């Protein structure tokens, strides 16, 4: 399976993305998306630049780190003598826990928030929002992931399974689809759902700083960051106050955004947003 890693990644990515884009038309979330496709070049462009940067700096990435560690018998799992049927699913769960805490850290540290803000500054949500991460954040995330993969001695197959699953679930919970309430409640028992993750993309600070999970929903409940839904419900305002201007969604502006000061607040800002305390932009 590892010999076909690129084909597996690409196949799952395209299959999930196209399916979700179709579902966004069949089961649309009833929220205005005035920019729509005009955001796609910036969102997809960031993913492309990020992939090029990771390949240039660490060509083998996390799976390569796992193969390297496995060849030398490094890590906690080999030291404990865990069989593959235990180590593979445990790798998926522990790496997802890592991403949860990494995500919380990007909200807590002002310098990291400037990078992560690029993701939150998307003024609308759809499946392409899951691709919208600054290349430097992608590179830092990959470095941390590689270090933990080696420390755990995670099996390469477990790392590949996690990365494919994370990519697919991230696109799913960013998708602009309106699931039936009963299905939504059932799914969120074992998966981060679109409504749950929309809470995280609210411009209200207290909601932005909640629901950090991308794949498994248990960490938010366990560590006290779970919110069932935005307080405003379907009227939730997506994005970051001051950064929703259409011109700021271009790829060049997104790449430079961490270096820029926050633009003046628009007079059209919502009252709730204007009153909500915001983190430092320093």
Closest CA to 167 of 1, 15, 3, 2: 15
CA–CA dist 112, 135 (Å, integer): 12
- Confidence at residue 30, expressed as pLDDT on a 0 to 100 scale: 80
Which pTM was predicted? 0.90
3-state secondary structure of 117: helix
Q: Which H helix or E strand runs over 157?
A: helix 156-174
3-state secondary structure of 102: helix
- Confidence at residue 38, expressed as pLDDT on a 0 to 100 scale: 92
- 273 pLDDT higher than 50: no
181: exposed, middle or buried (C-beta count within 10 Å: 0-12, 13-18, 19+)?
A: exposed
Displacement of CA 122 from its chain's centroid (Å): 12
CA–CA dist 137, 116 (Å, integer): 7
- Confidence at residue 58, expressed as pLDDT on a 0 to 100 scale: 81
- Confidence at residue 277, expressed as pLDDT on a 0 to 100 scale: 45
Closest CA to 185 of 197, 173, 195: 195
pLDDT, tens only, 103-145: 999 999 999 999 999 999 999 999 999 999 999 999 999 999 9
pLDDT, tens only, 151-178: 999 999 999 999 999 999 999 999 999 9
CA–CA dist 67, 153 (Å, integer): 9
3-state secondary structure of 168: helix
Residue 238, strand partner residues: 202
Residue 202, strand partner residues: 238
């Amino acid at each position: 399976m590892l010999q076909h890693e690129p084909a597996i990644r690409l196949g799952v990515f395209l299959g999930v993305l196209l399916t979700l884009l179709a579902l966004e038309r069949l089961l649309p979330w009833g929220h205005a998306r005035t920019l729509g496709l005009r955001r796609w070049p910036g969102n997809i462009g960031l993913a492309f630049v990020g992939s090029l940067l990771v390949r240039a700096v660490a060509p083998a990435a996390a799976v390569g780190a796992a193969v390297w560690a496995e060849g030398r018998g490094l890590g906690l799992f080999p030291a404990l003598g865990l069989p593959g049927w235990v180590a593979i699913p445990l790798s998926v769960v522990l790496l997802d826990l890592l991403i949860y805490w990494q995500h919380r850290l990007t909200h807590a540290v002002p310098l990291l928030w400037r990078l992560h803000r690029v993701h939150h500054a998307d003024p609308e949500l759809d499946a392409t929002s899951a691709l919208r991460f600054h290349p430097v954040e992608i590179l830092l995330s990959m470095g941390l992931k590689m270090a933990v993969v080696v420390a755990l001695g995670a099996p390469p197959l477990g790392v590949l399974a996690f990365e494919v699953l994370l990519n697919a679930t991230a696109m799913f919970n960013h998708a602009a689809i309106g699931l039936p309430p009963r299905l939504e409640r059932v799914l969120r028992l074992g998966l981060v759902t679109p409504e749950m993750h929309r809470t995280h993309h609210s411009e209200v600070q207290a909601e932005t700083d909640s629901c950090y999970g991308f794949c498994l929903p248990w960490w938010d409940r366990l560590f006290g960051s779970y919110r069932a839904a935005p307080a405003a419900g379907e009227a939730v305002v997506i994005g970051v106050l001051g950064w929703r201007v259409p011109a700021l969604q271009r790829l060049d502006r997104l790449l430079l955004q961490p270096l820029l000061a926050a633009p003046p607040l628009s007079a059209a800002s919502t009252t709730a947003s204007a009153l909500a305390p915001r983190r430092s932009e320093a």
